């Protein structure tokens, strides 16, 4: 039974996407806009309002940017004000709606982030919700970031299956094998490779905690959200917005100001401008210790500035245990080593195993002859059938590479006869190297995916979830690939 209950991280992430889409869909036709505002207000009144202090939230003039605090918790605190119920806010997200910027900014704060909770000393940031509910969480976030908060939305996970079904399945680039059947952790059995994840498996995928760090888990959820947003069209959301409004209302509690038609309309107008712009995720940078994720005051200030300016943080999405934080790049007079090592023998062994498992022929097998130092193939390649959006079944294989010097870090090579999978929509740039034309997909300054096509199939190299391979390493691995047999 408990396998059916999602962790609030995914529920919160899905609902914030739905939240913006609800407002956008409501404003899709000017004639219906005021009627839709009434629907939203009525939906938000289903649950009691959050009890916050008089001066807790900031006010803005019409048309000015607003910052929303989204709390995802396993239950609302008693009377929406006091803690002590055992509930913790597993994920805390800031959303910035600014019509003057090129994107809507979203920044998640790691639940294990080490902070000073006002009046209670040093603890993980999610403990603030358990101790003092939304009020203390708002106070803690404001103290940490220095940001004024305009609205607070507390999201719980009741009715999650309805939200998942309303949004639909998501094609996901699964980085490795996920399996657990012990009673200590939630059951999961998902093979690696690009595939369509529906309700139960999608929940298991983003909920997975065993052997992962807080930053890796957060990066997986962010990646899932990005792929979901890429695949759900605006037209589809308009058609589903009535259903999403009901789900949203039943599973959220808001501050009192979001119970008025005038304030909802103001937020609707901001969301309307934001709906046509991309969502820019500001990835939190920190160092993972035995008990906490730690970030200096200077690091937090830089992240807040990027959040306000909608600039994605450069570099990898965090440092894994045993790794030192990346230093600022300096001017280089000599070419630096790529930290790649020869993998031609083990790579060809992988390719031969893929052929023996049924690949080859209509799906030629390519394999990398270079891997990042301290890496090795994690398992035999997976050869399988992939169901496309057109209902056809395509051949596919996945080679998984594990970083042996970092926990939870996997990258790999995907091949499929599906020529236009959603993951390859809208490349950042196209670059021709030799006889190959590579499609490059960036996240900030990190190259998250390198793809190329042949007359028979499509291939790509996927970075780790924390994007710890730099662009030269990614290009070096992609260029080193050879066709087998």
pLDDT value at residue 273 = 66
Q: Is the dihedral of CA 259, 261, 263, 269 positive or negative?
A: positive
Task: Give residue-wise pLDDT tens across range 403-431.
Answer: 999 888 999 999 999 999 999 998 999 99
Give me the pLDDT at residue 427, please. Answer: 94
At residue 455, the pLDDT reads 96
Question: Angle of helix 160-167 relative to helix 234-250, nearest 10 degrees?
Answer: 170
* pLDDT for residue 103: 75
Domain boundaries, the chain: 2-168+232-309, 340-483
What pLDDT was estimated at residue 12? 43
Angle between helices 8-26 and 214-231 (to 10 degrees): 30
- Residues 356/382, Cβ–Cβ less than 8 Å: no
| pLDDT number for residue 49 | 85
Q: So what's the pLDDT on residue 251?
A: 74
**What is the CATH class of 340-483?**
alpha beta
Q: What is the pLDDT at residue 311?
A: 65
Per-residue pLDDT at 394 = 98
Asked whether the CA dihedral 142, 145, 147, 151 is positive or negative, the reply is negative
Please state, in angstroms and as integers, the Cα–Cα distance from residue 247 to each residue in 165, 177, 194, following that order: 11, 32, 29
What is the share, in percent, of the chain residues with pLDDT greater than 90?
A: 44
Rounded Cα distance between 359 and 345, Å, is: 19
- C-alpha distance from residue 309 to each of 59, 312, 428, 447, 474 (Å): 20, 9, 21, 22, 28
Query: What pLDDT digit, counting tens, does each position of 15-44 carry?
Result: 455 555 444 444 444 334 555 667 777 777
> Which residue from 469, 473, 475, 460 is spatially nearest to 366, judged by alpha carbons?
460
Q: Assign domain 2-168+232-309 to a CATH class.
A: alpha beta
Q: Give the per-residue pLDDT at 410.
A: 97
Q: What is the dihedral of CA 78, 81, 86, 87, to 10 degrees?
A: 100
Give the bridge partners for 195, in sequence order: 172
Q: What is the residue-level pLDDT of the chain in tens, covering all 485 positions?
A: 333 333 444 444 454 555 554 444 444 443 345 556 677 777 777 778 888 998 999 998 888 899 999 887 655 444 444 444 556 566 688 988 888 887 778 888 888 899 999 999 999 998 999 899 899 999 999 999 999 999 998 876 554 555 656 766 789 999 999 998 887 777 899 999 999 988 778 878 887 877 777 778 878 877 887 787 777 665 566 566 677 777 777 777 888 888 877 787 777 777 666 656 666 778 788 888 888 989 999 999 999 999 998 766 677 766 655 555 555 555 554 555 689 999 999 999 999 999 999 999 999 999 999 999 999 999 999 999 999 989 999 999 999 999 999 888 999 999 999 999 999 998 999 999 999 999 999 987 889 999 999 999 999 999 999 999 999 999 999 999 999 98
Length of the chain: 485
- Environment class of residue 29 by beta-carbon count within 10 Å: exposed (0-12), middle (13-18) or buried (19+)? exposed
**What mean pLDDT value characterizes the chain?**
81
Please name which of 15, 6, 202 lies closest in space to residue 90, comparing C-alpha atoms. 6
Neighbour-count burial for 375-395, b at 16+ CB within 10 Å, e otherwise: bebbbebbbbebebeeeeebb
The 8 Å CB, 24+ separation contacts for 219-223 are 219/283, 219/317, 219/318, 219/465, 219/466, 219/467, 220/465, 221/9, 221/10, 221/13, 221/91, 222/13, 222/108, 222/281, 222/283, 223/173, 223/465
């Amino acid at each position: 039974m408990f396998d059916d209950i999602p962790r609030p991280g995914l529920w919160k992430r899905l609902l914030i996407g739905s939240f913006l889409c609800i407002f956008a869909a409501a404003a899709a036709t000017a004639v219906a806009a005021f009627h839709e505002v009434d629907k939203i207000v009525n939906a938000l009144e289903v649950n009691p309002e959050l009890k916050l202090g008089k001066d807790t939230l900031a006010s803005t003039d019409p048309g000015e940017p607003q910052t929303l605090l989204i709390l995802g918790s396993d239950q609302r605190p008693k009377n929406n004000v006091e803690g002590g119920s055992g509930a913790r806010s597993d994920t805390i997200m800031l959303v910035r709606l600014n019509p003057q910027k090129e994107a809507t900014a979203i920044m998640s704060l790691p639940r294990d982030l080490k902070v000073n909770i006002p009046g209670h000393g040093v603890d993980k940031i999610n403990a603030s919700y358990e101790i003092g509910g939304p009020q203390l969480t708002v106070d803690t976030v404001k103290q940490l970031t220095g940001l004024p908060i305009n609205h607070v939305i507390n999201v719980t996970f009741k009715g999650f299956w309805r939200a998942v079904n309303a949004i639909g399945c998501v094609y996901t680039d699964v980085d490795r094998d996920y399996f657990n059947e012990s009673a200590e952790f939630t059951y999961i059995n998902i093979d690696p490779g690009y595939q369509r994840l529906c309700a139960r498996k999608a929940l298991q995928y983003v909920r997975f905690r065993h052997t992962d760090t807080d930053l890796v888990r957060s990066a997986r959820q962010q990646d899932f959200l990005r792929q979901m947003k890429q695949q759900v069209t605006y037209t589809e959301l308009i058609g589903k917005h009535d259903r999403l409004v009901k789900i949203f209302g039943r599973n959220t509690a808001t501050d009192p100001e979001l119970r008025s038609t005038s304030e909802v309309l103001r937020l609707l107008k901001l969301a309307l401008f934001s709906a046509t712009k991309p969502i820019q995720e500001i990835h939190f940078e920190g160092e993972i210790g035995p008990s906490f994720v730690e970030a200096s005051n200077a690091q937090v200030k830089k992240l807040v500035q990027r959040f306000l300016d909608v600039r994605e943080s450069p570099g990898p999405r965090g440092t894994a245990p045993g790794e030192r934080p990346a230093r600022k790049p300096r001017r280089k007079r000599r070419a630096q080593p790529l930290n790649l090592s020869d993998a031609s023998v083990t790579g060809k062994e992988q390719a031969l195993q893929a052929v023996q498992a049924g690949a080859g022929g209509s799906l030629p097998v390519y394999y990398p002859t270079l891997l990042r130092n301290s890496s090795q193939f994690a398992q035999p390649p997976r050869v399988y059938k992939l169901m496309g959006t057109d209902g056809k079944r395509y051949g596919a294989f996945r080679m998984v590479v594990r970083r042996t010097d970092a926990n939870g870090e996997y990258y790999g090579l995907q091949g499929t006869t599906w020529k236009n999978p959603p993951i390859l929509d809208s490349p950042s740039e196209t670059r021709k190297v030799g006889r190959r034309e590579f499609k490059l997909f960036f996240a900030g300054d990190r190259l998250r995916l390198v793809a190329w096509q042949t007359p028979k199939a499509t291939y790509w190299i996927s970075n780790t979830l924390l994007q710890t391979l730099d662009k030269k390493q990614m290009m070096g691995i992609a260029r080193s690939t050879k066709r087998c047999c």
